[in-house]
């Protein structure tokens, strides 16, 4: 069962903050917050994607891009591959994003050498989408797939950003 929780009216970058527990990757799309037409979101995705077929990751990425994804922060085992597949999906969905004349790329980062806290902090404080999407990006969604301890940690930090800042040393 997935749970979507609004943690604060506005987060560090004046974005609404949501957390999402998803038992499967498919549930991330079902649980993602509905955004008004034209609105976009940053996604912190904590997922152990080892063994997950590329097709599953690609399908998730396409659905999230269509739902308004403007920036992906991938964390967890195999997050670099998740990042790469999301980039491929961006090119498939928005071929113009792969040309130097446009600024419509869905930004993405992977954080395989950082703690959950550092990657979450990055999503909240440093994930700036491409200029074309910056003003439309109104929320950050922290989604955890199939890992209860991670989900509990994320929800606790989102409920107390000062403790997250303390853990990462800011």
Q: For 31-43, what is each residue's pLDDT tens digit? A: 566 666 678 999 9
By percentage, how much of the chain surpasses pLDDT 90?
68
Q: State mean pLDDT over 122-146.
A: 94
Architecture of the domain made up of 3-168: Alpha-Beta Complex (3.90)
pTM of the model: 0.91
Residue 99: pLDDT above 80?
no
Query: Which residue has better confidence, 138 or 95?
Result: 138
Binning the chain into helix, strand and coil, the percentages to the nearest 5 are: 45, 25, 35
Token digits for 128? 């700036």
Q: Give the Cβ contact number of residue 68 at 10 Å.
A: 22
By percentage, how much of the chain surpasses pLDDT 70?
86
Q: For 127-137, what is each residue's pLDDT tens digit? A: 999 999 999 99
Order of strands, sheet of 16-22, starting from the edge strand that comes earlier in the sequence: 3-8, 16-22, 137-145, 40-46, 69-75, 107-110
Per residue, what are the HEC states of 105-124?
CCEEEECCCCCHHHHHHHHH
């Amino acid at each position: 069962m997935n749970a979507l929780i609004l943690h604060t009216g506005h987060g560090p970058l004046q974005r609404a903050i949501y957390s999402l527990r998803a038992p499967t990757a498919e549930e991330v799309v079902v649980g993602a917050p509905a955004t008004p037409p034209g609105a976009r979101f940053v996604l912190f995705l904590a997922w152990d994607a080892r063994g997950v077929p590329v097709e599953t990751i690609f399908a998730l990425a396409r659905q999230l891009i269509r739902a308004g994804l403007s920036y992906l922060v991938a964390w967890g085992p195999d997050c670099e591959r998740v990042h790469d597949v999301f980039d491929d999906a961006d090119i498939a969905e928005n071929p113009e994003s792969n040309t130097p004349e446009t600024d419509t790329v869905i930004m993405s980062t992977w954080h395989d050498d950082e703690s959950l806290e550092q990657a979450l902090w990055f999503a909240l404080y440093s994930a700036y989408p491409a200029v074309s999407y910056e003003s439309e990006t109104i929320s950050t969604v922290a989604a955890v797939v199939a890992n209860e301890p991670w989900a509990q940690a994320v929800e606790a930090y989102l409920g107390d950003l000062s403790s997250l800042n303390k853990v990462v040393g800011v």
